Amino acid sequence: MGYDYALVHLFWTVPPATLLTVLVYPFLTRVDAAKLCFIITVAVVATIPWDSYLIRTNIWNYPPDAVLGYSLFDIPAEELFFFVIQTYLTAQLYILFNKPVLHAQYLNAPWAVPAGIRRAKVAGQLFLAAAIVYGCHLISGRAEGTYLGLILAWAAPFALLTWSITAHFILALPWTSTLLPIVAPTVYLWVVDELALGRGTWAIQSGTKLGVRLFGHLEIEEAVFFLVTNMLVVFGLAAFDKAVAVVDAHPDVFAEPSDTLSMSLIKARFWPSKHYDMHRITAIRQAASRLAKKSRSFSLASSAFPGRLRIDMTLLYSYCRLADDLVDDAADNVVASDWIDKLQKHLDLSYAEVDKTKPSCGKESMSSREYAESTFPSSAWETLRQLPVHLIPKRPFDDLLQGFVMDMDFDQGAGQFPITNVADLELYASYVASTVGLMCLELVFHHCIPGFPTHLYDTDATAETDVTKLSLPRNKVTSTGVVLQRHSTKGAITRNQLRLAACRMGLALQYVNIARDIAVDARIGRVYLPTTWLKEAGLTHQDVLRSPRSDGVMQVRKRLLDLAFDLYDESRVVMVEIPPAARAPMIVAVESYMEIGRVLRDGTAAAKEPQEAERGINGGGRATVPKGRRIWVAWSTLMMS
């Protein structure tokens, strides 16, 4: 009886597993927990017979004074624990590195798979088939290659199976999602194995190994073992994620979303890829790309949403960004106004198709798809087609377009600056930001409240509800704005009050956006600061355009940020009543953006606008929050939520 192997776990495997648990826990979902249980179970069940054979045939042994003496099928308890802890480590790394990835965008029908990926799949199949043959050859020789042969003959068939059914998906994923979770734990376990072999904790029987060492005491067979087993773990998890992605990307085929852990996941595993809806997948792909490029804060927060809600949120963001770009990039106001009219007509057609009781727009009763393809650039077709209009009221979309109309009222040459007072500021922000908050909340209601009717049948608030006439319940907020307790009266928050809170929070976020972009807006002749505030500070619009970072402008910016945080404090207490599945991600989205306001208000180094040479990197000279700080805000918010 000894403690050497147990000490290896105590000092080398349990600590990193604990650290990963702490890091991943706030992001962990029901689906992630199911993946962990699934892959650990498969790993243990598949490895026990093989490892038991190695020990009983004396290919692999443990000195009696290195283990505690407890065993199952001749396998020491410490070795059984190693099966679990290695799989757990690799799986947690895989989950962590895949959190930012929207897997549905990497699905492909057979005809859409790039030629390079098809060739790589075939090459992988041939390599794994050759590994099986070579492994059997080594075993038959009963000589120095026996142990390596047993590794290959055991692992390669599993790898070939998972590779054959998942290779197109695995190869499409970013290398950080697949290669990194294989290489990182493999190299770490090589080091651990080197230390253990050097101390004689376990040993390979002479005459069954090649005698080749990768470095130090690390036998080549052990190096191959850790590499192939980590490959098996990642391949298995990728196969699970592919099924999840198929279910979430095809709500018309699979009634139950992936987070219900229904039989749909098994059905999806065997559903032919030729049936994939590539129109929807293309829209998801384009939307994810827009999100990653245009909004780092929301991109980070979106990774915590449940699968289908995340997809619909991303599609909604993509539409809003597309509309904004069409109008902002127009050559002049005439072209911009024309795009707004086209967007409005497309919305009218889309909603007429959802509600068949309303007449279609246009004399020829053109479908929204036909109109989009005849009017908009091809890069916009799928985004317009996949907009979830059946889940969101039309009024917020109409109001969003009105916000674009207000933007066109700016005319520096004519001295036109439409934000004359706080009421104008609030109206503008309600058009361009509160509307988005409302739309996001409608998606939350649909996806996160079982049996909740869509807005078309919701008697609590229809598309015509004026939520601004409602009032929010008051509650105390901590000095940092963080709410640590739920509202005192359970059930007192109605859906309408949540809608109002979304509107008010939208105002807060837009005010932060305006405060951040004063200099950027000044370069295009726009000033969103209220004229009345400028006069009170002894400033004119021209002063802002000439010196957007002057002390006077910074004082007005501080006033705007103070108003933003007042609205934030008022609305933040209500966010604890958001349905649980979406509560934490929604709070992360808000906190990630409000962090920009905090660094601006506090005057920290992170808030300083970049120099001219840096502007092409971070989006036109906008103040940014460092990536590490954004991740910390997301992690800490999820942990508390």
Contacts 24+ apart (CB under 8 A), 255-259: 257/306, 257/307, 257/308, 257/447, 258/31, 258/307, 258/308, 259/29, 259/30, 259/31, 259/306, 259/307, 259/581
Whether the pLDDT of residue 454 is over 70: the answer is no
pLDDT in the model for residue 270? 93
Average pLDDT on 508-516 reads: 96
Q: How distant, in Å, are the alpha carbons of 287, 478, 524, 588, 601 from that of 562? A: 33, 16, 25, 21, 8
pLDDT in the model for residue 450? 62
pLDDT in the model for residue 294? 82
Rounded Cα distance, 159 and 531, in Å: 67
Average pLDDT on 240-260 reads: 95
pLDDT in the model for residue 622? 59
Average pLDDT on 433-447 reads: 95
How sure is the predictor about 364, in pLDDT bands with cuts at 50, 70 and 90?
A: very low
Average pLDDT on 427-454 reads: 86
Specify the amino acid at residue 601.
R
Compute the 3-state secondary structure of the chain and give helix, strand, coil in percent, each to the nearest 5: 70, 0, 25
pLDDT in the model for residue 480? 32
- CB 425 within 8 Å of CB 530: yes
Rounded Cα distance, 498 and 475, in Å: 14
How sure is the predictor about 298, in pLDDT bands with cuts at 50, 70 and 90?
A: confident
Question: Angle between the 495-516 and 551-572 helix axes, to the nearest 10 degrees?
Answer: 160
Average pLDDT on 217-225 reads: 92
Burial degree of 290 (CB within 10 A; 0-12, 13-18, 19+): buried
Average pLDDT on 331-352 reads: 95
Of the candidates 523, 582, 626, 67, the residue with the CA atom closest to the CA atom of residue 297: 626
pLDDT in the model for residue 414? 57
469-481 pLDDT tens trace: 444 444 433 333 3
Query: Helix or strand or coil: residue 173?
Result: coil
| DSSP at 421 | S
Burial degree of 67 (CB within 10 A; 0-12, 13-18, 19+): buried
Average pLDDT on 110-120 reads: 97
Q: Residue with structure tokens 């279910």?
A: 247
Higher pLDDT, 18 or 215: 18
* Portion of the chain with pLDDT greater than 90, in percent: 66
pLDDT in the model for residue 142? 79
375-418 pLDDT tens trace: 999 999 999 999 999 999 999 999 999 999 999 888 655 568 99
pTM for the structure as a whole: 0.87
- CB 515 within 8 Å of CB 561: yes
The pair of three-digit structure tokens given for residue 188, joined into one six-digit string: 């770490």
| Cβ neighbours, 10 Å, residue 246 | 26
Whether the pLDDT of residue 508 is over 70: the answer is yes
Give the largest Cα separation in the chain, rounded.
Answer: 92
Question: Angle between the 115-141 and 146-172 helix axes, to the nearest 10 degrees?
Answer: 170
- DSSP secondary structure string for all residues of 99-117: TT--GGGG---GGGS-HHH
Higher pLDDT, 627 or 121: 121
Three-state SS letters, 287-299: HHHHHHHHCHHHH
Q: Which residues contact 615 (CB under 8 A, 6 or more apart)?
A: 621
Question: What is the sign of the dihedral through the CA atoms of 268, 274, 279 and 284?
Answer: positive
Residue 440 half-sphere exposure toward CB, CA atoms < 13 A = 31
Poorest-pLDDT segment among 128-132, 205-209, 222-226, 448-452: 448-452
Q: Which residue ranges form the domains of the chain, and what is each CATH number?
A: 4-255 (no CATH), 279-390 (no CATH), 398-480+492-609+617-641 (1.10.600.10)
How sure is the predictor about 3, in pLDDT bands with cuts at 50, 70 and 90?
A: confident
User: Which of 410-439 are b and which e, b meaning 16 or more Cβ less than 10 Å from the residue's Cβ?
Assistant: beeeeeebbbeeeebbbbbbbbbbbbbbbb
The residues that bridge with 75 in the sheet, in sequence order, are: 72
88-105 pLDDT tens trace: 999 999 999 999 999 999
Q: How distant, in Å, are the alpha carbons of 180, 325, 523, 591 from that of 294? A: 26, 11, 19, 18
Whether the pLDDT of residue 606 is over 80: the answer is no
The pair of three-digit structure tokens given for residue 313, joined into one six-digit string: 């949120």
- CB 15 within 8 Å of CB 192: no
Whether the pLDDT of residue 468 is over 60: the answer is no
Which of 61-75, 187-201, 223-237 holds the top average pLDDT? Answer: 223-237
How sure is the predictor about 358, in pLDDT bands with cuts at 50, 70 and 90?
A: low
How sure is the predictor about 485, in pLDDT bands with cuts at 50, 70 and 90?
A: very low
pLDDT in the model for residue 416? 82
Higher pLDDT, 51 or 206: 51
The pair of three-digit structure tokens given for residue 352, joined into one six-digit string: 């007429």
Q: Which residues contact 336 (CB under 8 A, 6 or more apart)?
A: 327, 328, 330, 404, 408
Q: How far is CA 473 from the centre of its chain?
A: 32
Rounded Cα distance, 91 and 357, in Å: 51
How sure is the predictor about 276, in pLDDT bands with cuts at 50, 70 and 90?
A: very high
Rounded Cα distance, 149 and 166, in Å: 25
pLDDT in the model for residue 462? 44
Whether the pLDDT of residue 296 is over 60: the answer is yes
How sure is the predictor about 466, in pLDDT bands with cuts at 50, 70 and 90?
A: low
Three-state SS letters, 172-241: HCCHHHHHHHHHHHHHHHHHHHHHHHHHCCCEECCCCCCCCEEECCEEHHHHHHHHHHHHHHHHHHHHHH
Q: Residue with structure tokens 């902002």?
A: 328
Rounded Cα distance, 55 and 316, in Å: 57
How sure is the predictor about 592, in pLDDT bands with cuts at 50, 70 and 90?
A: confident
Average pLDDT on 56-60 reads: 88
Phi, psi at residue 234, to the nearest 5°? -65, -40
Mean pLDDT of the chain: 87
Q: Residue with structure tokens 């098994």?
A: 266
pLDDT in the model for residue 141? 83
pLDDT in the model for residue 518? 96
